[in-house]
Amino acid sequence: MVDGKKLVVSASPHLRAKDTTTRIMLDVIIALLPALGAAIAIFGPRVLAVTATTVITAVLSEYVARKVMKRHNTIGDLSAVVTGLILAFNLPVSIPLWMAAIGSCVAIIIVKQMFGGIGQNFANPAIVARIFLLISFGTAMTGWTAPLSWKTDAVSTATPLAIVGGESAEALPSLLDMFLGIRGGCIGETCSLALIIGGIYLIARKVISPKIPLAYIGTVAVVMLIAGKFDLEFVAYQLMGGGLLLGAFFMATDYSTSPIKSNAKIVFGIGCGLLTCVIRLFASLPEGVSFAILIMNLLVPHIETIMAPKPFGTVKEKKSKAKEAEAK
């Protein structure tokens, strides 16, 4: 006979799927690696210094913040590493390292931990940090280094979207260069190829649903097609320029700040796309991804409330009323 004291008694189910939070975050890190590799090739070894700074600061701030708040340590879930990586990808390679470190602190301490830690933040930490740095250190945040110039002397350049927008008279990089990421821009946003590989990996691993990226990118494509009077080249520069792919695959899909249900995800993606287009076409900023995602982040609770799923078998009110009327 078995003594009850030695038996575990817990609520069902008694089986669990193998996936853990850490494994999911590890997948995101793996998905970001191609873009990191491309960035090192394009912008040189300083990419590593910036990335290391943001990642280490992010993990350290998470550790300290949890300690001060007397909460259990969560750096093991790797989410702080992901935040650090994505923040680094959103910075120009020439940024002073101390600024990058401040960005990480803002992301982790203010945006993430002060609102309760993982899963509780209402806005994407990396995006808020990027916007914070953009407002605080405008010049440093918009000083773009020309691609592949790190071996000789770093030359400054303009981003393709600034050129397309007519803010710079430089020659546009070719579409192939755009695809491979040989252009001016933030560390991790330039190589479309690497970002698409990472995105496909995440979708294949079922870490993210393709709905948000497809709705987001698709909306931008359609709007830009109309805005550009069906100039396909213009659309291609819009899709591969700026941080659209990085944003669509890695930032708009952030669990905490995007809707859960699939139809709400599509609405969220379309919203991100429309706002990005509005900002790119009409605002004084050439780049709209960060602000678009941030604004949509804030709308997520409302989208979810409006689009709340009906529990299984719930009869739609209109239908049942119609039926009642029929019965009468």
Partner 1 sequence: MAKTRLDGVLQAVKKVRGGVKVDHHKNTAECEVVRMPVPAKVVIPMQQHIGAPCEPVVKVGDEVAVGQLIGDTDKFVSAPIHASVSGKVIAVGDVKLPNGTMSKAVTIESDGEMRLWEGIEPPKVETREDLIKAVRASGLVGLGGAGFPTHVKLNFPADKNIDTLVINAAECEPYITVDYRECIENSWDILAGVYLLKDMLGFKQVIIAVEDNKPEAFKVLKNIADHEHDVHDEVKLMVLESKYPQGAEKMMVQSATGRKVPPGKLPADVGCVVMNVASVAFIARYIKTGKPLVSRSLTVDGSAIKEPKNVRVPVGTNIGDIIEFCGGFSKEPCKILTGGPMMGLAIVGTDLPVLKQNNALLAFSKDDAVLKPENDCIRCGRCAIACPMSLMPTNIVKAAKAKDPEALKQLGIMVCMECGSCAFACPAGKPLVQHMRLAKAILREEGNK
Which residues of the chain form contacts with partner 1 (CB under 8 A)?
1-4, 6-17, 19-21, 23-24, 74, 77, 79, 117-120, 255-256, 260-261, 308-315
Rank residues 157 and 256 by Cβ distance to partner 1 and give the closer one.
256
**Alpha helices (runs of H) in the chain, residue ranges in sequence order:** 21-43, 46-68, 79-89, 97-105, 125-136, 138-141, 160-164, 175-180, 192-204, 211-227, 232-240, 244-246, 262-282, 289-306, 317-327
Residue in this structure with the two tokens 């430089």, named with its chain if needed: 170
Alpha-carbon distance 290 to 131, whole Å?
A: 7
Rank residues 283 and 315 by Cβ distance to partner 1 and give the closer one.
315
Rank residues 28 and 87 by Cβ distance to partner 1 and give the closer one.
28
Rank residues 16 and 229 by Cβ distance to partner 1 and give the closer one.
16
- Minimum distance from CB of 318 to partner 1 (Å)? 15
- Minimum distance from CB of 17 to partner 1 (Å)? 5
Rank residues 8 and 327 by Cβ distance to partner 1 and give the closer one.
8
Structure token pair of residue 303: 């989208």
- Minimum distance from CB of 84 to partner 1 (Å)? 17
- Minimum distance from CB of 112 to partner 1 (Å)? 11
CB environment 13-43: b (16+ within 10 A), e (fewer): eeeeeeeeeeebbbbbbebbebbbebbbbbb
Alpha-carbon distance 149 to 6, whole Å?
A: 67
